[in-house]
């Protein structure tokens, strides 16, 4: 990427329930958001709604009839107010990414899997988080400490 280390550019859409509704994790970190958006299947889908649906995005994506981005730079009070409202709504995406990284430590700063597997790992973690949310499985649990071999013993004791 432009900062000099390997990374993956992840593009997502998140619904109001903070669940991932689409995800793409195959682009290198050096690819600009606008290029990813132009080639995104979700862009093609949302464009078919003829203005009856839209997404909120950051300014890196560029404006379109179906994608609303903040004013850059806001010059009037109404534009600043719009940007604040836009940011409040888009925080759902940031919160969802935070929950994803919190639940799945493998997605931390340095993913320890082969680069070709990273997209599948990211998508799998997002799907599992959606399932956990659907089942109301909260993250506020503590991991039990196990000694080597104890997990298998506990599983054998299960009915």
Residue 51 vs residue 159, higher pLDDT: 51
What sign has the CA pseudo-torsion 105, 108, 110, 113?
positive
* For residue 85, pLDDT beyond 90: yes
Q: How many CB atoms lie within 10 A of CB 38?
A: 13
Q: How many CB atoms lie within 10 A of CB 127?
A: 13
Rounded Cα gap, residues 46 and 67, in angstroms:
9
Rounded Cα gap, residues 40 and 38, in angstroms:
6
User: Among residues 89, 59, 61, 60, which one has the least CA distance to residue 74?
Assistant: 59
pTM over 0.75: yes
86-100 average pLDDT score? 91
């Amino acid at each position: 990427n432009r900062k000099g280390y390997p990374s993956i550019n992840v593009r997502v859409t998140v619904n109001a329930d903070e669940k991932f509704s689409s995800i793409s994790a195959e682009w290198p970190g050096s690819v600009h958001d606008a290029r990813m958006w132009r080639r995104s299947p979700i862009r093609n889908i949302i464009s078919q709604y003829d203005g009856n649906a839209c997404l909120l995005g950051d300014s890196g994506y560029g404006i379109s009839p179906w994608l609303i981005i903040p004013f850059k730079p806001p010059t009037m009070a109404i534009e600043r107010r719009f940007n604040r409202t836009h940011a409040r709504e888009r925080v759902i995406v940031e919160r969802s990414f935070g929950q994803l990284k919190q639940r799945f430590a493998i997605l931390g700063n340095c993913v320890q899997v082969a680069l070709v597997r990273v997209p599948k790992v990211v998508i799998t973690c997002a799907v599992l988080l959606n399932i956990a949310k659907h089942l109301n499985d909260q993250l506020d649990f503590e991991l039990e400490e196990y000694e080597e071999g104890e997990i298998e013993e506990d599983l054998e004791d299960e009915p």
